[in-house]
């Protein structure tokens, strides 16, 4: 599987969240094939497109199968902060400069916030049934058992995190992980736009979850939308930003939002 031919001159960027936005496991098909017809039309007039997800790059490989992608996107933003472009032989090539800086900045913020992260870990392990998750490059993650449990954990974190300068977190339903404040879907998207030579007036983005709020922001994209199945908090945010809340869910919502902005 390959990407569509790269336009000679890039005129715009389309950024899509994956789970719940492009792909809905409860729908059949999970991703409406018309979406790819739309993308082909955009490609012909110089637009590039990509997936902007909380999934890791490895997890996205199965995502392309789940969504039955007939061709690959032009870029991939994994774990909200790692940039990749398609390489030869189906391999994703890291955008080294950015990814290395991100790794360095994350190591530093984790080191400086060590005490607090430990405190949260102890709270999670002793006071809740949630799971503390440590992964390569991602030492501080939480998987709660319910939205309510996550809300309680957030209360604990939010009351204390202000003391730690660059520490932030990204969350999506029952998942949370600590990260550097400057790295989220919005700043990652801005880096893609910068590399493409495109200003925010020519950027479209859509997402349904809390971790999409970073990119659903007028600072990074003039065209902002969420599907009908988005979290209420996300819908509220999109409206406040002057964006578009779709009538339809998941990929049908995506197609609707594109229609809305591009007629």
Single out the residue of 94, 95, 99 nearest to residue 81, CA to CA.
99
Site of tokens 């992964």: 135
Q: What gap in Å lies between CA 148 and CA 69, rounded to an integer?
A: 35
Cα 105 to Cα 181: distance, rounded to the nearest angstrom: 10
Binding residue for Mg ion (CB under 5 A) from 12, 14, 16, 20? 20
Q: Which of 19, 24, 80, 191 binds Mg ion (CB under 5 A)?
A: 19
CB of 75 to Mg ion, least distance (A): 18
H helices of the chain, in order, are 34-44, 57-66, 96-112, 114-127, 147-158, 185-196, 232-240, 250-262
Site for Mg ion (CB under 5 A): which residue of 17, 74, 231, 256?
17
Smaller CB separation from Mg ion, 121 or 248: 248
Prior bond of 29 cis (ω within 30°): yes
Q: Work out how close the CB of 209 gets to Mg ion at its nearest, in angstroms, rounded to a whole number.
A: 4
- Token match 């490609």: residue? 43
**Which of 23, 190 has the CB closer to Mg ion?**
23
Stretch that binds Mg ion, among 61-69, 105-113, 182-190, 207-215 (CB under 5 A): 207-215
Q: How far is the CB of 8 from Mg ion (least distance, A)?
A: 32
Interface residue with Mg ion, options 50, 67, 209, 214 (CB under 5 A): 209
| CB 21 to Mg ion: min, Å | 5
**Which residues within the stretch 112-141 sit at the binding site for Mg ion (CB under 5 A)?**
none
Q: How far is CA 202 from CA 12, 51, 139, 223, in A?
A: 5, 17, 36, 8
Contacts with Mg ion by CB under 5 A lie at 17, 19-20, 208-209
């Amino acid at each position: 599987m390959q990407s569509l031919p790269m336009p000679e001159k890039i005129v715009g960027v389309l950024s899509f969240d994956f789970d719940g936005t492009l792909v809905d496991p409860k729908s059949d098909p999970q991703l409406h094939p018309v979406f790819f017809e739309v993308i082909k039309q955009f490609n012909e007039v110089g637009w590039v497109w990509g997936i902007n997800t909380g999934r890791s790059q490895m997890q996205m490989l199965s995502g392309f199968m789940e969504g039955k992608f007939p061709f690959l996107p032009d870029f991939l933003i994994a774990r909200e902060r790692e940039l990749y472009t398609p390489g030869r032989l189906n391999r994703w090539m890291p955008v080294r400069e950015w990814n290395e800086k991100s790794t360095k900045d994350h190591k530093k913020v984790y080191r400086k916030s060590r005490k607090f992260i430990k405190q949260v870990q102890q709270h999670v392990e002793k006071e809740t049934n949630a799971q503390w998750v440590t992964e390569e490059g991602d030492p501080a993650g939480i998987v709660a058992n319910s939205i309510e449990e996550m809300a309680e954990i957030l209360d604990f974190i939010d009351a204390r995190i202000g003391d730690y300068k660059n520490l932030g977190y990204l969350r999506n339903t029952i998942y949370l992980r600590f990260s550097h404040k400057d790295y989220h879907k919005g700043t990652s998207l801005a880096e893609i736009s910068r590399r493409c030579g495109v200003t925010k007036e020519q950027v479209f983005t859509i997402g349904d979850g809390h971790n999409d709020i970073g990119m659903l922001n007028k600072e990074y994209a003039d065209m902002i939308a969420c599907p009908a199945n988005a979290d209420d908090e996300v819908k509220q945010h999109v409206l406040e930003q002057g964006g578009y809340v779709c009538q339809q869910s998941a990929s049908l919502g995506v197609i609707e939002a594109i229609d809305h902005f591009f007629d």
